[in-house]
Amino acid sequence: MQAIHSQQTNDLSELENWLKQAQVPYTILSHDRTIHSAEEGAAQGIGALANMAPTFILHTENGFLTATICGDTRLSYKKIKRALGLKNLCLASPDEVKQITGAEIGYVSIINPGLSTIVDTQIIEKETIFGGCGIPEHTLQINPMDLIRLTQAFVFDFAEPKE
């Protein structure tokens, strides 16, 4: 297993400094409790389900990868494998996610410096997206084009509708 360590941004001031240095407009929303899913975020009134941006850490034969999709879709492993030429692809284990990002599953940051990032094409249709910032009880609001620029994400179609 090849370990790729993200520069963990598990401190809110560190994340804010990083975003300010990149001159990216953003908002960090605070909540009474941690939001663990896109559905919870939409139910809490943060935004529409389609504007929630869940982020997954994927384990591949080449290391780990960050994948961000719209909240009303799900990952298509088949599309990701085909586009990236991968044979093996699965979700990282909770322990791997914690080790790599410093965050628990459910509030993984949509920005993980040091990790390769893929973003589904449907994200770019949104004016703003809401995702984890690696800190419990907080959500990052950001323009998807800024997310793509900051993470140098590879953007392609790899999500499918939830059934």
pLDDT tens column, 89-116: 999 999 999 999 999 988 999 999 889 9
Q: What is the DSSP letter of 52?
A: B
Whether residue 3 lies inside any domain: the answer is no
pTM exceeds 0.75, yes or no: yes
Which distant-in-sequence residues (6+ apart) come within 8 Å of 135 by Cβ?
10, 11, 12, 15, 103, 107
Q: Is the pLDDT of residue 9 over 50?
A: no
Token pair in block for residue 138: 């907080």
- pLDDT tens profile 28-64: 999 998 898 999 999 999 999 999 999 999 999 999 9
Domain total of the chain: 1
pLDDT band at 4 (very low <50, low <70, confident <90, very high): very low
Give the domain range for residue 29.
15-158
**CA–CA dist 72, 82 (Å, integer):** 22
CA 154 to chain centroid, in Å, comes to 13
Helix (H, G, I), strand (E, B) or coil at 18: helix
Q: Comparing C-alpha atoms, which of 126, 28, 24 is closest to residue 71?
A: 126
For residue 131, the cross-strand partners are 140
Q: Which ranges in 22-157 belong to alpha helices (H)?
A: 38-43, 77-84, 94-101, 144-151
Which distant-in-sequence residues (6+ apart) come within 8 Å of 78 by Cβ?
none
Whether residue 1 lies inside any domain: the answer is no
Amino acid letter for position 106: G
Whether residue 4 lies inside any domain: the answer is no
pLDDT band at 163 (very low <50, low <70, confident <90, very high): confident
Question: Residue 140: which CATH number?
Answer: 3.90.960.10
